[in-house]
Amino acid sequence: MEELIKRICASVGIDEDTAKISIGHVLGFLQKEFPEGPVAELLGKIPGGQDAIAAAAAAPGSGGLDSLLGGLGGLVGGAKGDIMALAGKLTGLGLDMGQIQKLGTEIFAHADQLIGKENVDKIVAQIPALAQFR
């Protein structure tokens, strides 16, 4: 986890706490959408991954765009709604869309190293909107 946090801090330009909570939100989203298979394998190979998910779940919401996108996500429903809610959580942490793109790219690059590109591709294939982060 520490290596991933450092990569994200350098690439995205955020502090370590924000990086950990951001990672937790992304991993929590993936875990919710894919509780078994490659995501379970990935979480098993990221020491502190579950802690990051718990920290993200406990992080206070910031309102504003976070609440708006989360509410829109609820209206859309399913994976599309969940990804909108994830974007809302990340913008609520102060990340802009460019930073969210870099965050996703770094997380998927790290996942490629841990579980292999083929397994990450299986995850991305289930939610096409994730392809923009490859």
pLDDT confidence of 75, banded at 50, 70, 90? very low
Of 18, 34, 46, the closest CA to residue 112 belongs to: 46
Give the predicted TM-score (pTM) of the model.
0.85
Of all helices (H) and strands (E), which one includes residue 9? helix 2-12
Residue 130 has pLDDT above 60, yes or no: yes
pLDDT digits (tens, 9 = 90+) for 81-114: 689 899 999 999 999 999 999 999 999 999 999 9
Residue 26 and residue 106 in contact, taking contact as beta carbons nearer than 8 Å: no
pLDDT of amino acid 62: 38
